[in-house]
Chain A
Amino acid sequence: MSETSKRGVFGWLDDRFHLAPLVDYMRHKEVPVHRHSIWYYMGGVTLFLFIVQLFTGILLLMYYRPGAESAYESVRFLMNKVPFGWLFRAVHSWGANIFILFAFVHMFSTFFTRAYGRPRELTWVTGFVLLALGMGFGFSGYLLPWNELAFFATKVGTDIAGVLPVVGDAIKVFLRGGEDVTGATLIRFYAFHIALIPAIFTGILGVHLLFVQRQGMHEPEFVSRQPEGEKRTMAFFPNFLLRDLFVWLIVLNVLLFLAVFYPWELGLEADPFASAPQGIKPEWYFMFMFQTLKLIPAHVLGLEGEMLGVLVFMLAGLAWMLVPFWEIRTRATGRLKPMAVIGFLALGFIVIMTIVGYLV
């Protein structure tokens, strides 16, 4: 009876949307199995965490009241009076950080397995844009509770944008909605966080997933060199999807653990007239840039050090996004590959600067 009804519903939909070829495609889609297969799950986990953010974000939105006079109190109310409000806020805050972490892991695993190469250049580019937007999510969302640390971190962050030549000041004023970080900035960041960035992110994410589904999983070089008979694969549906689900459940458990045992603090309400507290630090994923800018001398080659640093980071980011188009290819095997060296240097730089940022 249920089988008939299932077939009936599917038949009804298939009749209108021609789903059968799509299902057939999914059924025949294969995922390579090898010693680096674990990295295939990183993108899925990032996607899962985005869904968690979306879900918890919508729940928070029901109580959050933007505005310098209401934001902090509404978050406080949400955390203390709304049933399970504390849980959703903690999951949202932790989820944001783990989301960025997995996005980084996903990006570096793609880089080191050289999955960005032809024909997946645009998948890499869209992925990089998604990471940048994800960091924009983090930066804009950080200010929303309107607490002291977020207020001053936003002040510092937008100040950094202001050092850019020619357009810096305009960008700063645009981000802040004026000369200073005020309630206008909060409203602006709120609009970025819940409307602008999600709209762009969702669109690009759709394209990114479409590319992944259309092109399938990348085979690392050592797998593609194997004879066809020796290559192992698994069906995307249901095998890989079930394994994806398995990892997602573990991540969900970890997320709940962190939310319950290490609830996200709200801190003190922002006071624009107070002096900045000691130890203003950005979110950990901005730390390597923040620390580097701190270490650059005030003037380098006659240029303002901070401005030079920001420009170098922008150029480095651009170069990283365009990696598939300038990749240094080597035929020799077994030797140190230049792209791997570049990758390790970039990763090492990020890790070391982040650690230094927290130790100093």
Chain B
Amino acid sequence: MSRKPFGVLLAWLALVVAGPVAAQDIPETLQNDQCIACHSDVGYLPDGLLLAGPHMRAELSCAGCHGGDNTTDDEEIAHAGTFRGVPDAASIPAFCGRCHSDLGFMRSYSPSASTDQVANYYTSVHGQKLRTGDTHVAQCASCHTAHAVLPASDARSSVHPMNVPALCNGCHGDAETMADYGIRTTQYRDYVGSVHGQALLEREDLGAPACNDCHGNHGAQPPGIESIEHVCGMCHVNNADYFSATGMARAFADEQLHACEECHGIHDVRKTFDAMVSTGDDSVCTTCHEEGDDGYAAADSMYAQLSALVAAQDSALAVTERVREIGMDDIEIGFLLRDAHESTIQARTLVHTFDPSRTAEATTVGLEKANEAIRIGHEEIGDFRFRRFGFGIATLLITILTIALFFKIREVERS
């Protein structure tokens, strides 16, 4: 008697137990899949097997990767022929690459799918080391998992942007593993406290970079001295453009200094503040520049401009707050404040030109807007006072009328 019906029932039970997967979500072909039926029967299904994942949805089943015949319940026949079994770490890129490097095959699932992952992987430090026989390095399954593969856009995926820092830290935060490679293990700690880490992990801003956004995905490499500026410039386009056009960029290159990193740090990039461009204690300029040189004077001048703009903005905000408190019109002031704020952002970006005349272009506009907002704000407050004064006059008139009426009533009642 064939054990097929019992096996299918067990497969169904396995499907239900495997995770919060609704029955209608399970591909129909899997209902008769003998790999799942038998492996459920003997109590062995791989940990984390995701039946609702893209591979299973594409009806690849176990045999799609591991080979063999998934239509028979005969163990020998099922494990003969094309059966590849469980690949070892060194052969995993080729194992996945069988499909993922095949453009013709991948196009049948996704016309825009890229097929260069394996090629890129072998350009990475991970791939190069794997080729030399080091099986401790990351390969496909290390990041994507073996049986719970999901697209990076899926929040449950191990490679979803919000999961990437912890994923990389699984190896790169392990001092024992990294000791063989002489790599620091503080990156994750630094990153979590950085402006990027806070944006991604605390505010859940997916626009903020995770490890792979700077280091690359499959072709992960530490950026070299000459490329840091370009890496940061992928997002901070204007800052990078302004910087690369300056004499400072050339001087940094000559001195073998890491462009952005010298002032902003690497993984621990902090939120910037105006005093970084000053001659005070928090200045990054005074690391290299001394009193009397051009850079020192430029820092002093740019900080003075930014401070004046910020002070004007603060005053405008205080006036606006008062205008709102008293319920007066703040619409136009709101537009002006927004413009002033935009000028501040522009000026802070133009700081990377290290040219006070350029930052002044933005701060002058910003100051005009902020001062205009203050002027209108004072007008509104004046109007509010006028209303009160007007109310005082109206009250006085009504009160006089009321008193007159009071006497009239007395007069009428006496008569």
Instruction: Report whether A256 and B395 are in contact in the complex, using a CB–CB cutoff of 8 Å.
Output: yes
How many residues of chain B get a CB closer than 8 Å to chain A's CBs?
18
The answer to whether A249 and B331 touch (CB under 8 A), given A234-B413, A256-B395, A257-B391, is: no
Instruction: Report whether B413 and A265 are in contact in the complex, using a CB–CB cutoff of 8 Å.
Output: no
Instruction: Report whether B405 and A246 are in contact in the complex, using a CB–CB cutoff of 8 Å.
Output: yes
Instruction: Report whether A242 and B405 are in contact in the complex, using a CB–CB cutoff of 8 Å.
Output: yes
Which chain B residue shows the least CB distance to A250?
B402
Contacts of A87 in B (CB 8 A): 387
Q: How far is the CB of A252 from chain B (nearest CB, A)?
A: 6
The answer to whether A256 and B331 touch (CB under 8 A), given A239-B412, A245-B405, is: no
Instruction: Report whether B409 and A242 are in contact in the complex, using a CB–CB cutoff of 8 Å.
Output: yes
Contacts of B395 in A (CB 8 A): 253, 256-257
Which chain A residue shows the least CB distance to B409?
A242
The answer to whether A256 and B391 touch (CB under 8 A), given A80-B331, A265-B327, is: yes
Describe A's contact surface by its main secondary structure: helix
A294 within 8 A of B: no
Instruction: Report whether B398 and A249 are in contact in the complex, using a CB–CB cutoff of 8 Å.
Output: yes
A-B contact pairs, 5 of them (CB 8 A): A242-B409, A243-B409, A256-B395, A260-B391, A261-B388
Expressed in whole angstroms, the Cα–Cα distance for A263 and B388 within the complex equals 12
Q: Restricting to B326-352, which residues have a CB under 8 Å from any CB of A?
A: 327, 329, 331
The answer to whether A253 and B398 touch (CB under 8 A), given A80-B329, A242-B412, A243-B409, is: yes
Instruction: Report whether B327 and A249 are in contact in the complex, using a CB–CB cutoff of 8 Å.
Output: no
Expressed in whole angstroms, the Cα–Cα distance for A79 and B383 within the complex equals 13
Q: How far is the CB of B331 from chain A (nearest CB, A)?
A: 6
Contacts of A272 in B (CB 8 A): none
Contacts of B398 in A (CB 8 A): 249, 252-253, 256
Expressed in whole angstroms, the Cα–Cα distance for A256 and B392 within the complex equals 10
Q: How far is the CB of A125 from chain B (nearest CB, A)?
A: 33
The answer to whether A242 and B408 touch (CB under 8 A), given A80-B329, A234-B413, is: yes
B58 within 8 A of A: no
Describe B's contact surface by its main secondary structure: helix
Expressed in whole angstroms, the Cα–Cα distance for A5 and B402 within the complex equals 30
A165 within 8 A of B: no
Given contacts A246-B405, A249-B402, A260-B388, 19 further A-B contacts (CB under 8 A): A80-B329, A81-B329, A86-B387, A87-B387, A238-B412, A242-B405, A242-B409, A242-B412, A243-B409, A246-B402, A249-B398, A249-B401, A249-B405, A250-B402, A253-B399, A256-B391, A256-B398, A261-B388, A263-B327
Expressed in whole angstroms, the Cα–Cα distance for A234 and B391 within the complex equals 35
Q: Which residues of B contact A (CB under 8 A)?
A: 327, 329, 331, 387-388, 391, 394-395, 398-399, 401-402, 405-406, 408-409, 412-413
A76 within 8 A of B: yes
Contacts of A81 in B (CB 8 A): 329
Contacts of B391 in A (CB 8 A): 256-257, 260-261
Contacts of A80 in B (CB 8 A): 329, 331
Residue-wise, chain A 231-268 has the 8 Å CB interface mask toward B (1 for contact) of 00010001100110110011011001100110101000
Instruction: Report whether B406 and A246 are in contact in the complex, using a CB–CB cutoff of 8 Å.
Output: yes
Q: How far is the CB of B39 from chain A (nearest CB, A)?
A: 46
Expressed in whole angstroms, the Cα–Cα distance for A265 and B388 within the complex equals 17
Expressed in whole angstroms, the Cα–Cα distance for A243 and B409 within the complex equals 7
The answer to whether A253 and B402 touch (CB under 8 A), given A234-B413, A260-B387, is: yes
Expressed in whole angstroms, the Cα–Cα distance for A86 and B327 within the complex equals 10
Contacts of B388 in A (CB 8 A): 260-261
Contacts of A239 in B (CB 8 A): 409, 412-413
Expressed in whole angstroms, the Cα–Cα distance for A246 and B388 within the complex equals 23
Q: How far is the CB of B402 from chain A (nearest CB, A)?
A: 4
Expressed in whole angstroms, the Cα–Cα distance for A87 and B383 within the complex equals 13
Q: How far is the CB of B389 from chain A (nearest CB, A)?
A: 10
